Structure 1
Amino acid sequence: MILHGLEVEQVRRFADPVRLAGLGPGLNLLGAPNESGKSTLLAALRAVFLLQHGSKSRPIADLQPYGGKGAPRIAVDFTVDGTMWRLEKRFLHRPFAQLSGDGATFQGDAAEARLHALIGVESGKRGTEALGLMNALWVGQGHSLAQPDFSDPARTTLRACLESDLGAMTGGEAAERILARVLADLSVLLDGRGNPKGRYRAAIEGEQAASDELARLQTRRQVLEDDLQAMADLRRRLAREDDSDRREKEREHLAEARRQRDRLRDHDARHRAARAALDHATARLAAVRQDVARRAEWRQALDAQSARRADLAEALAAARAAHDAAQTAQAARMRAVQDADAHRLSARRALDRATRRVERTRLEQERRDAAASLDRLDQAAQAVTRAAARLSACTVDEARMTAIRQAARAVQAARAASQAQATMLDVVLEGTGAGRLKLDGRVLGSGRVQVTDTARLHIAGIGTVSIEPASHDRERLRADAARADHALRQALDAAGCVDPDAAEAALAERRQADLAFQAAQTTLAGLLVAADRSPAAAMTEGRRRLAELEARIARHGDEDGNPAAGQDPAEALERASDAMQAAEDRHAAANQALFAPDETLRLAAAELGRLEGDHRLAQDAASRLTHDLAAARAAESDDALSARLAAEDAAMREAGQALHRIEETRPDGTEALADAAIQRLERAIQDGSARLAALKQDMAAREARIRAAEGDGLDERIAAQDRLRDSHAAERAACAREVAILHCLRDAVAGAARAATERYLAPLSRAIQPALAALFPRAVATVDPDFRVSGLTRRVGEPFENLSDGTREQIAVLVRLGLAELLRARGRPAMLVLDDALTWSDAGRLDRMFDILADAATRVQVLILTCRTELFTGLGARALTIESATPS
């Protein structure tokens, strides 16, 4: 079986259609990070092959896309025995199944049945996967550590070749009849789960019921014996609880505890009253002491304020004298500052006049520059106009010159063609023949003459000779020459030239005019302030600027008049600046001189104000203290206050002594302990009464049970149940012996079957052994009848459960490879899928596992899904990708 394509839509994270691209025979590797959908693709593969399309079970619901409802759709392309098939299923919403291949198409349940027949699986229970070996060969994430857990159809598939060997080992039909008889007899005594039934179960249940009844009767007898023993104990306890002397002592103890509590409460009340009296006396004494301390503080404060007021009066007189001296000095310096300020104002006016003169000079220079610029702009514009006029006057341009040249070449070509067919006349004159030969009236000299048309040669004194050229195209050549001459003449007339040389001269003149025009334009463009401004606008702006400068110059002339002849405005400005700087320095010096006295005056005024305020505050404080002290003495004299202090002190000492005497007479214990003792004694009396009543009630109940048990014949009933139990036990033992005999017969036949099974397991062992030896040299695997490796023998035998995780995972992969080899050898479909397997392998074993997988992939298709792509780079597998299947 070869998987060629897998396409999913609306499956978990794949809401849009995607396909697993690149699948083919041999080794296939899908390496992708976590959360990229590898396990989802394996779940989709299991669903499309092993789940019914109409199911709505939990495995189907888990296929729905994240974040919403959807209808999962899965399609696969695969080959079985060389035949190409396509399977497509949709689940949940409008489910369908379609299987196409081998010239037929199956729908719905028919497609499911045909699919199961193709891949060798059986339908499972409703909503579960189909059963077969394919489940064991598709290993999901986290399941590679465990060996496959086979279903019954998978075991049936593996044992399909066992039947013939089993018949030979067990005697054929006779053994089958014996085994059937043994199983039938066992079915009378045991049910399908090996539990007793029928008479065997009745014997066991009867024995158990008799034993239970016997145990119950013996329990009742033991209860009777316990009741008899308890009655004696109850009588002793009842005599103790019903002792009147003990109860009287308990009541006396309770009364004494209550009296002790009353004494403690009375002492606490007297103690609280004494403590309150002491606290009150302490508070009154503190109040008197506070009044005494306050009156002493007032006297001290009044003395201090009187001394301070005298000191402040002296300081105030000195401060007033200093303030008056500072005011006199300040007035003198203020006049100096006013004089310096007037001098600075005069220097500022002179500097402003000099500045305006310099500004007028600058404006006049700007006016001259603006006038010169306007003249240059005007001259450049006129030059452009003249150059443009000169250029427009030229009648010959490149196009006309090209036409003239073409026409001249055509004339030359026509003449050359005519001359090529002309009659050549060589003239050699002797001494007396000069002037005697005339060709069409033209005197000939010695040399060669071309005759292109009919000509007449006159020889003086001899006669006339007619010359006719021998050309047959003479008329055509003559017409061509005439047309060429006419075209040349028209081109020359259009250009206003008499011949091509004049046209060439006119073209050269045009080129010079064009260069002059471009130079004039360049000059004009350089004079324009903005590249997009026209010359007219620039000249208008220049005239406006010139008028503005003249107006500004006129205003300066009106304000200041013309400067003196020969006086440089810049030098006048420099002298005015120096004078202004000197005035500024004089003004700054005067201000600086003013600042120190002003600070002195300010400090003197501040000190004077501060001292006046302090003097007023001292007077007010002294007046207030005098008033408070007089009021206090009026209310209570100093002697009365001292007497009250002594009385309150004596009252506090007396209250303290009274509290001390009360504390010395405190009874032992606490009120809480007295309450606890009272509660304990009350509870003991109450519990004694309750125990007495309960003992009497318990004695009555036990007496009733004893009388009932003595009249029930317990010993006779116990003997009867003992005999019944023994009879049921004998029947149970007989059934057990019969079951043991039948088991022995069954095990003998089953032993022969196991021997055949072990012989059948040899191919699986042989399939695992080479790869096992590659991983573990000289190791031998033990395969049990359940087709699982139960142990590994190297130097010693090791159970499979005791091996490391990595070794168990590698053996589990090898077992699945062996199963795939067995299926392939029997002509059944097989394909191995491993999701995140071999994660526990070290580097050396991983390379050997790569070799084993590569060898197995030459016979069965292997698909590996992993998030550790870098570890599988040495596998040499076909790289798969997850691509969008949405039509572009």
Structure 2
Amino acid sequence: MILTELQIEGFRRFSSPVRLEGLGAGLNVLAAPNEAGKSTLLAALRAALTLRHTSKTSVIKGFAPYGGGAPHVGVKFLWKGTACALEKRFLTKSRARFSIGSEIFEGDQAEEKLRDLLGLTEAGKAEAAGLWNALLVGQGESFFQPQLTDAGHASLRDCLEQGVEDATGGAAASAVLARVKDRLGLFQTASTNKPTGRYKQVLEQEQQAREGLARLEARKAALEDDLIALDHARRTLREQENPERRAQDEAALKELRIVRDRVLLLDAEEQKARSVLAAAAAAHDAARLEQEKRQENALRQQQLERECSAAKQTLDAVANQLVKARQKFEACRQQREQAERTHQTCRQQRIAASRFAALAHLQRVVEQEKAIVRRAEAAFTRLEQEEAVLAALRIDEAAIQRIRKAAQAYDQAVTVQAANAPTLVVSLEPDAAQRVSLNGQPCADGETRLTSLTTLRIEGIGQFQIIPARLEQEAAEAQRVMVRTRLDKLLEQVGCPSVADAELGYEAHRQAVVRVAEARAAYGASLPENTALTPEKARQALGLLRQQVAQKEADLAVAQKESSAQQAEALSLTPEQAAAAEEAAAQAAETARQAERAEQAACAMVTTQKEKAEAALHNLVQMVQQLQREDAVRVARETAEALAERALQAQKDQKAAQDKVEQLAQARQDDQPLAVVETGIKRLEQVLDTTRTAITRLREDIRGRETRVRLAEGEGVDEQIAEARRTAERLRLECESCERERAALALLQQTLADAERTQTERYLAPLMRTVQPAFAAVFPSATIGLDAGFSVQSLTRRQTEDFSTLSDGTREQISVLVRLGFAELLYTRQGSSILVLDDALSFSDSLRLERMVDVLAEAATRFQILVLTCRTETAVKLGGRALTLTPMPEFTELR
């Protein structure tokens, strides 16, 4: 099958008719950008070959153009050298026409004829199926292996020249394998091999029977445990209810309580004796402490009196030092005052000398600024003169520009008038120049523009009047007069008779502007700030300068008047001498002040020492008086004799209390400690309580176990266990039977499947021989593995790799090569084939792409290959026929 023409109309984005041109045998390449309609072309070709024209499915409706309409497809091709044409229109006014040579078929007859020719089968009401669907590879489909329907598998098997029956051992073998699978499906699931159906039900029932038997046996064991525990509980109850044991425990508890009461009484007496002992010891300690305090106060008073005597001597010595320090301080103060008066006199002399020097400097500054004012006044006078000259000139830049523009307009008007005037060209002989005149003047050789009535006179012949075209000359003359009037008016405004005079006046104006700028710059330079001033501020700056000079002259006069009284004294010393004298006086004054401060500090220190001595003496006197008052209070409260007697009595009471405590402790040595007695009482009480609780619990336990034993005897547990064992054994046997049958069926299925696989490998050999050379060209030293469904399962190079684990580029290349193998088989079987690839090999590197191009180019020598791509570089590498999409004025219908 070789496509020679494809045209579509009203198909998705192609609302107008277009045609794919350049189709022919071999490799055909259409390189176009994205959204140019490549995928639409493939969809149209697939629809024409595999879809019925009467179909109304959603797929067909999706072919409708964006603006509405009916999809229309026309295909022309060669089939084994015979020209064929196919036309289909979908949705509205649907129709189908198919021609083979001179035969033409329409409608359903055309559809059936096309299917018979291509070997397609009916996949549904609207679509035909077969191997051709795997050869029309749409965009994105090249990443996946071809999904073949049963019709596609049948086509491949036909191409391999072997039927399904031969491949699987005949129809009987296939039927047996199917029945085995169906029977095995009653016992296990097909995907996970888990139990199902009756087998699963028997397994569940067996498990339930075993669980029920286990529960019954556990119940029987619990019943036996209850009988043993019941006997033990009855013996324990009899032991706990023994009256002699109970009486012994109660007697022991009573005896321990009597001992506890006696110990508590002894504890109380001992606590009382210890309290008396503590009180006696406290009284004795208090009396002894009071005696010690009175002795300490007496010793402290003697020590403080000695310290008071020493403090008085220290105070007298410090008072003498203070008198001497104050005398020295007064002498230093008088010396400091004398030095400061001397420093003040020297300072006034230095100020007077500095003021006289400053006055002389100010006088020099005033003279300098007067000179600056005189220069500025001269520069300002020149500036005013130049500005007056400039103001007298009437032609400035704007005026000369207006005059120049008017003069240019006048020259243009004269030129236009001359251009519109006729030209008189005169060429006279030498002896005829005196006999020819023009407007009464001798006529010269050359050209003359005639803008008005002109009289040409030739002596001996007559005169000629030359009248120019009146209308054109009048318009040109009016324009010239108007422009001349405007020019004369501008010249009159500036007072110039001609344009040349105006140019001279402008030149004078320009030079005056330069002189004014120079005068203004000179005036600005004469000012102290040396800044450029505007004409308005020039006069203000000069007035301000004059005011400043006048103010300084007034200040100078006032300063001279004030310093006249001190001038005589200031003239006797220079400023440097006066400053040196002031510095020496200042140093002497500072030395006197430092001496005064030193004496003042010494005086302050002695004063501080005196104050500290007075404070220390005062504190000592206060402390002696305080101790004397405390002694008086103690004696008034209790005399020394009474205190000694109280201390002796307290010592006797403490001795008696200590003897009493020792007697009580000796009496308690024969009794147990109170804590031990209390622990024994609690233990016996707990034993009695535990016994009562145990008796109650044992009675309840005995009643419960007796009840369970009576119930079990009535239910017949042994009979139930025997029945459960028979049921579990029956289910076990049935389960083993199902397991044996399942294993046999699984083994039979595996055996039949292995046999089918062996036969499949045998009939796949032609396909492997067809596909393997192309694979070897792209993947050197590699082999592929196919399954019975014609899908690639693995790629073996150094090791076997599963197809799903390969990279996207490798899987895409393998998928394209598999389709290429299908096309080779179809070509071998039918003598005609085709392969269409839309944007395939997108993930191929440069080396793999070159290998794939070589493989496709080699296959294109046997059947047609159509490549649609958006990559220009891929199209260049492929070579082949270059296809183009060309708009058509109208769709060419099949007749």
Normalising by the residue count of structure 2, what TM-score does the alignment of the two structures yield? Answer: 0.55
Whether the 8 Å contact between 1:189 and 1:197 is mirrored in structure 2 is yes
- Matches of 1:666 and 1:786, distance apart in 2: 111
**Structure 1 residues 314, 216: closer, same or farther in 2, change over 3 A?**
closer
**Structure 1 residues 102, 357: closer, same or farther in 2, change over 3 A?**
same
Q: 2:169 aligns with which of 143, 152, 171?
A: 171
Partner amino acid, structure 2, of 1:630: A
**Structure 1 residues 351, 710: closer, same or farther in 2, change over 3 A?**
closer
Q: Deviations over 1:516-566 (max 9, x none)?
A: 65543322111223544733222322232233223323333443437768x
In structure 1, the partner of 2:322 is: 323
- Matches of 1:850 and 1:284, distance apart in 2: 115
Alignment of 1:453-492 (within 5 A): 471-472=444-445
In structure 2, the partner of 1:29 is: none
Q: 2:539 aligns with which of 536, 549, 563?
A: 536
**Structure 1 residues 818, 306: closer, same or farther in 2, change over 3 A?**
same
Partner amino acid, structure 1, of 2:444: S
In structure 1, the partner of 2:686 is: 683
Root-mean-square deviation over aligned CA pairs: 6.5
In structure 2, the partner of 1:550 is: 553
Partner amino acid, structure 2, of 1:623: Q
Q: Secondary structure at the match of 1:340?
A: helix
- Matches of 1:78 and 1:161, distance apart in 2: 29
In structure 2, the partner of 1:380 is: 379
Whether the 8 Å contact between 2:772 and 2:783 is mirrored in structure 1 is no
Partner amino acid, structure 2, of 1:619: V
Whether the 8 Å contact between 1:170 and 1:753 is mirrored in structure 2 is yes
- Matches of 2:845 and 2:447, distance apart in 1: 100
Q: What is the aligned residue count?
A: 649
In structure 2, the partner of 1:613 is: 615
Answer yes or no: is 1:814 the counterpart of 2:816.
no
Q: Deviations over 1:417-436 (max 9, x none)?
A: xxxx9999xxxxxxxxxxxx
Q: Secondary structure at the match of 2:601?
A: helix
**Structure 1 residues 690, 395: closer, same or farther in 2, change over 3 A?**
closer
Kindly state the Cα deviation for residue 307 of structure 1 after the two structures are TM-superposed.
1.5
- Matches of 2:657 and 2:752, distance apart in 1: 113
- Matches of 2:747 and 2:587, distance apart in 1: 138
Q: Secondary structure at the match of 1:363?
A: helix
In structure 2, the partner of 1:592 is: 594
- Matches of 1:600 and 1:789, distance apart in 2: 117
Deviates more, 1:576-585 or 1:701-710: 701-710
In structure 1, the partner of 2:579 is: 577
In structure 2, the partner of 1:561 is: 564
Partner amino acid, structure 2, of 1:181: R
In structure 2, the partner of 1:305 is: 304
- Matches of 2:699 and 2:164, distance apart in 1: 80
**Structure 1 residues 385, 302: closer, same or farther in 2, change over 3 A?**
same
- Matches of 2:585 and 2:768, distance apart in 1: 122
- Matches of 1:632 and 1:651, distance apart in 2: 24
Whether the 8 Å contact between 2:783 and 2:795 is mirrored in structure 1 is no
In structure 1, the partner of 2:131 is: none
- Matches of 1:257 and 1:243, distance apart in 2: 22
**Structure 1 residues 323, 729: closer, same or farther in 2, change over 3 A?**
closer
- Matches of 1:595 and 1:194, distance apart in 2: 118
- Matches of 1:647 and 1:758, distance apart in 2: 132
Q: Deviations over 1:160-218 (max 9, x none)?
A: 859968754433432343344345545666788854545x6776677666656655555
- Matches of 1:299 and 1:76, distance apart in 2: 129
**Structure 1 residues 677, 368: closer, same or farther in 2, change over 3 A?**
same
Deviates more, 1:327-336 or 1:718-727: 718-727
Q: Deviations over 1:351-400 (max 9, x none)?
A: 44334433433333233223222212111212323444566778999999
Kindly state the Cα deviation for residue 637 of structure 1 after the two structures are TM-superposed.
3.2
**Structure 1 residues 295, 584: closer, same or farther in 2, change over 3 A?**
same
**Structure 1 residues 820, 522: closer, same or farther in 2, change over 3 A?**
closer
Alignment of 1:274-289 (within 5 A): 280=279, 283-284=282-283, 287-288=286-287
Partner amino acid, structure 1, of 2:614: E
Whether the 8 Å contact between 2:168 and 2:760 is mirrored in structure 1 is no
In structure 1, the partner of 2:338 is: 339
Whether the 8 Å contact between 1:771 and 1:852 is mirrored in structure 2 is no
Whether the 8 Å contact between 1:323 and 1:605 is mirrored in structure 2 is yes
Alignment of 1:342-421 (within 5 A): 342-389=341-388
Q: Secondary structure at the match of 1:471?
A: coil
Partner amino acid, structure 2, of 1:520: A
Fraction of identical pairs, as percent: 23
Whether the 8 Å contact between 1:388 and 1:517 is mirrored in structure 2 is yes
**Structure 1 residues 303, 472: closer, same or farther in 2, change over 3 A?**
same
Partner amino acid, structure 2, of 1:304: Q
Answer yes or no: is 1:181 the counterpart of 2:179.
yes
Whether the 8 Å contact between 1:387 and 1:513 is mirrored in structure 2 is yes
Q: Deviations over 1:279-327 (max 9, x none)?
A: 5556555544553444344333322321222122222222222222333
Partner amino acid, structure 2, of 1:559: E
In structure 2, the partner of 1:142 is: none
- Matches of 1:269 and 1:759, distance apart in 2: 117
Q: Secondary structure at the match of 2:306?
A: helix
Answer yes or no: is 1:635 the counterpart of 2:671.
no
Partner amino acid, structure 2, of 1:611: A
Kindly state the Cα deviation for residue 814 of structure 1 after the two structures are TM-superposed.
1.7
Kindly state the Cα deviation for residue 788 of structure 1 after the two structures are TM-superposed.
11
Q: Secondary structure at the match of 2:806?
A: helix
